[in-house]
Amino acid sequence: MNDGHVVIVGAGQGGVQAALSLRQEGHGGAITLIGDEEGLPYQRPPLSKDYLKTGQAERLALRPADYFDRKAINLWTGRRVDGIDRAARRVHVGQDTLTYDRLILATGTRNLIPPIPGIGRAFGLRTLAEAKGLRDALNGTRRIAVIGGGFIGLEVAAVARAGRHEVHVAEAAPRLMSRVLSPQMSERFRAKHEALGTRFHLGNGVTELRDGCIVLASGETIDADLVLLAAGVRPNTELAEAAGLAVDNGVVVDPLLRTSDPEIYALGDCCAFPDPESGNHVRLESVQAATDQARAIARTIVHGAQEPYAKVPWFWSDQADWKLQIAGLADPDATSVTVGEDTVFRFSGNRLCAVETINNAKVHMQARKLLARRPAPAYDDLARCGFDLGRETEKDRV
């Protein structure tokens, strides 16, 4: 389909990549990219890191305004899609209606707001406007409390400590980044942040926010001039659900990233796609997944490609002078083998499923290549691949 109208809902990195990839693949029809935030589409990952340090919003733009004009991409910003009429192939945007031949949902996620009394006092960090508000507030405060020990919370904690703030992090789980990291790597990051001066309250959720403090489940109160809520996100699936599309912790798609309506695709943080290893539907909050899925959808739309999406997922987080990189996906019960001071190999049964590294881009890239094999190497095969994991026994693995 080289001359139809493709409408993309969501102007984050996945939505922008879908528009660019359609043109790169040779799509000659109209493309409309719709975002609900004002201004040019921008990168979100730096919001919790570089932007908090520098305040240089102009460095975040994914492309300059004239780029979209040169590529004949109709960019609608500050507009919200109110509904999808699948029978007529239309989307409703305020008083406007757009007819589509193909529709791509790249609606992303929103901050999870837990039902905690006083939670409205907390700052969020999802949009550029929220990041600006947080940065301005940090300049006039000393004591910071962070709710959530995941990537965003720890990235902000590191920036705040570099700015000489007193930082407390409250995490309901018993360890940091527990949803994505091995116990060994989680412990290393705890020690790193504690060495920077951050104080942790693990296994101790927040039960209330009061003026000037937070209250923990233990009953302890922590003084705080500013509270950041970084307790996770939820996929924006309301538009898809209202249109009658299948939704289950994300917009459900097939291996070609098509929804239950074959003329509608979904990508990125909002979509649940079949994992090529397990067959289970997974949802990833990853720039890499969003942009790779965008490229795959463009190939399918323009060329009729029938190649199932099967890219190896990878993630990163910059915390102080440590870059955490993760290749692959590991279940919570995966076995883990530590190699040196900076690498953890994770196994599902005897098969490699993920590799975690600190400041080791070479091993990270090697791991991505290994995991791209189908099937991934077994534990005993890794020596032939250049990795000597030693002779750990099962009891040595956690």
3-state secondary structure of 173: coil
Compute how many other C-beta atoms are within 10 angstroms of the C-beta atom of residue 195. 9
pLDDT in tens, 339-396: 888 999 999 988 999 999 999 999 999 999 999 988 888 888 887 777 767 644 333 4
In the predicted structure, residue 11 carries a pLDDT above the cut 70: yes
Q: What is the pTM of this model?
A: 0.94
User: Edge to edge, what strands does the sheet with 166-171 contain?
Assistant: 199-202, 166-171, 143-147, 226-229
In the predicted structure, residue 398 carries a pLDDT above the cut 70: no
User: Edge to edge, what strands does the sheet with 6-9 contain?
Assistant: 73-76, 31-34, 6-9, 102-105, 264-266
The answer to whether 60 and 128 have CB atoms below 8 angstroms apart is yes
Q: Which residues of 310-343 are buried (b: 16+ CB within 10 A; e: fewer)?
A: eebbbbbbbbbeeebbbbbbbeeebbbbbbeebb
Mean pLDDT estimate for the chain: 94
HSE value, Cβ hemisphere, 13 Å, CA-based, for 348: 12
Whole-number percent of the chain with pLDDT over 90: 88
pLDDT confidence bin for 1, thresholds 50/70/90: low
Q: What Cα–Cα distance (Å) separates residue 239 from each residue in 7, 80, 251, 266, 367? A: 14, 10, 10, 12, 37
Spell out the residues 6+ positions from residue 146 whose beta carbon is closer than 8 angstroms to its own. 153, 154, 156, 157, 167, 168, 169, 170, 227, 228, 230
The answer to whether 67 and 47 have CB atoms below 8 angstroms apart is no
In the predicted structure, residue 164 carries a pLDDT above the cut 90: yes
In the predicted structure, residue 308 carries a pLDDT above the cut 70: yes
Distance, CA of 135 to CA of 187 (rounded, Å): 29
In the prediction, which pLDDT does 289 show? 97
pLDDT in tens, 24-69: 999 999 999 999 999 999 999 999 999 999 999 999 999 999 999 9
Is the bond into 313 cis (omega within 30 degrees of 0)? no
In the prediction, which pLDDT does 395 show? 34
3-state secondary structure of 364: helix
Q: What Cα–Cα distance (Å) separates residue 114 from each residue in 117, 131, 154, 234, 241? A: 9, 20, 19, 11, 22
In the prediction, which pLDDT does 45 show? 96
Distance, CA of 164 to CA of 162 (rounded, Å): 5
In the prediction, which pLDDT does 134 show? 97
In the prediction, which pLDDT does 383 show? 74
In the prediction, which pLDDT does 345 show? 94
pLDDT confidence bin for 333, thresholds 50/70/90: confident
In the prediction, which pLDDT does 388 show? 67
In the prediction, which pLDDT does 390 show? 60
pLDDT confidence bin for 20, thresholds 50/70/90: very high
Distance, CA of 359 to CA of 192 (rounded, Å): 13
* Region class of 239: left (phi > 0), else alpha (psi between -120 and 50), else beta: alpha
Q: Which domains does the chain have, with CATH numbers?
A: 6-110+234-303 (3.50.50.60), 113-231 (3.50.50.60), 321-397 (3.30.390.30)
pLDDT in tens, 186-243: 999 999 999 999 999 999 999 999 999 999 999 999 999 999 999 999 999 999 999 9
Distance, CA of 298 to CA of 261 (rounded, Å): 17
Spell out the residues 6+ positions from residue 381 whose beta carbon is closer than 8 angstroms to its own. none
Distance, CA of 272 to CA of 281 (rounded, Å): 5
In the predicted structure, residue 397 carries a pLDDT above the cut 50: no
pLDDT confidence bin for 276, thresholds 50/70/90: confident
Q: Which residues of 269-293 are buried (b: 16+ CB within 10 A; e: fewer)?
A: bbbbbbeebeeebbbbbbbbbbbbb
Q: Using alpha carbons only, give the angle 190, 169, 209 rounded to the nearest 5 degrees.
A: 165
